Amino acid sequence: MTPMTDSADIPRPRPSILDIEPYVPGESHVPGVAKVFKLASNESPLGPSPEAVEAMRRAVMGVTEYPDGTAQDLRAAIAERHGLNPDNIVCGNGSDELLTLLAQAYLSPGDEAIHTEHGFLVYPIAIRAAGGVPVVAREENLTASVDAILEKVSPRTKLVYLANPNNPTGTYLPIDELKRLRTELPPRVLLVIDAAYAEYVRRNDYEAGIELVSSSDNVVMTRTFSKAYGLAGMRIGWMYAPAHVVDIINRIRGPFNVSAVALAAGAAAMHDVAHLQKAVEHNERWRDWLARELSALGLEVTPSVANFLLVHFPDEEGKRAEDADAFLKSRGLILRRVGGYGFPNALRVSMGTEEANRLLVDSLREFLERS
């Protein structure tokens, strides 16, 4: 293929697309290491519900036919579990698809969309792909700041993306702050609350945003089956939104954007509350343990309410994040480099199985003690 040059007479994309830094997914292999623990993509160490696995097996037999393009059964399962009106739900090929469609629908070229300093990297990609301009709001204490977001609102602002809790920091805004943001944002600005990790959060002052959506015309919430439900490979997400937003997204999404196997998996997973509970409990136990153990080793750990920890390394020759990353890889542990998120000297680690978590602490102890 010919690389794009200024002079070549070739088809040209929307100019803002050339400003996109392609998303770099977490790694999953280490050459020469047989047993690998992937702690790089916030997947569930418990895997999916056995009921979801069984539902997928059955659904495979039916793939000659197109899936239900309205995702009726999946929306009904979600609605029942969360006490929602199914008419206000749209399902997507992962929540990434919905985040992208929202930008496609609500941004015109030159429009601005705000995300926070260490926000999820899918946002600037979605914004630029739509011809929009990403505007970055600073954070305070590695946490989103409502005041900083509001300061960035201009006459061209159409969208605000807020991951709550955020990836890769694991920090969150209490519901009172979200309400204040909604109240002070101009009603023409769509507030997108990305609650990909909501299932994991057990704080009295946290809410995923359901009530906020129900009581507003300009708030949507996105959710995913990729994290606590252990179904990242199936690509299933959903959005809860006012009817007018549902109508818009339904016009532009692919008519069969969620596969038949994914629809079956999602509905079955929604019904298996016990499995979700197990995943959340495993996470809570090991996140607190890991945060304590890593702090005891002298590493700085950002307090997290999600299923991962942001671990900061010393600014010392041989002890930096990239050194730790190489060392851990040799032990079969794959963590996430987060330089692209503004953390050149940190690694993000997802909660793993007990074996992986213990191996991580032992390996990091060895790494820090070696001279």
Ligand X SMILES: *Cc1c(COP(=O)(O)O)cnc(C)c1O
Residues 34-73 that bind ligand X (CB under 6 A): 42
- 102 Cβ neighbours under 8 A, 6+ residues apart: 126, 159, 190, 192, 220, 239, 245, 249
Here's the x/- map for ligand X, 227-266, by CB under 6 A: it reads as x----x----x-----------------------------
Indicate if the alpha-carbon torsion angle 51, 55, 56, 61 is positive or negative: positive
117 vs 194, which CB is nearer to ligand X? Answer: 194
Give the pair of three-digit tokens for residue 205.
Answer: 């002052």
Q: Nearest CA to 346 among 286, 284, 294, 293?
A: 294
- β pairing state of 237-240 and 219-224: antiparallel
The count of chain residues that interact with ligand X, using the rule CB under 6 A, is 14
Q: How far is the CB of 95 from ligand X (least distance, A)?
A: 3
Distance in angstroms (rounded) separating the CA atoms of residues 368 and 365:
5
Least distance from ligand X to the Cβ atom of residue 170, Å: 10
Q: Which of 49, 88, 143, 167 binds ligand X (CB under 6 A)?
A: 167
169 binds ligand X (CB under 6 A): no
| 192 versus 260: smaller Cβ distance to ligand X | 192
Please select the residue that binds ligand X; options are 116, 157, 224, 257, rule is CB under 6 A.
Answer: 224
CB 144 within 8 A of CB 150: no
Applying CB under 6 A, the span of 152-160, 219-227, 241-249, 350-358 interacting with ligand X comes to: 219-227
Q: 112 to 151, contacts with ligand X by CB under 6 A? A: 120
Contact between 157 and ligand X by CB under 6 A: the answer reads: no
Would you say 197 or 367 has its CB closer to ligand X? 197
Stretch of residues binding ligand X (CB under 6 A), selected from 45-53, 143-151, 222-230, 277-285: 222-230
- Confirm or reject binding of residue 194 to ligand X (CB under 6 A): yes
Largest Cα–Cα distance in the chain? 61
**Burial of 284 (C-beta count, 10 Å sphere; 0-12/13-18/19+):** middle
User: Among all residues, whose Cβ is closest to ligand X?
Assistant: 94
Q: What are phi and psi of 134, to 5 degrees?
A: -70, 135
Query: Tokens 């900061």 identify what position?
Result: 312
CB closer to ligand X out of 101 and 196: 196
Site for ligand X (CB under 6 A): which residue of 216, 218, 226, 307?
226
We find the least distance from the C-beta atom of residue 196 to ligand X, in angstroms, to be 4
Contact positions vs ligand X (CB under 6 A)? 42, 94-96, 120, 163, 167, 194, 196, 224, 226-227, 232, 237
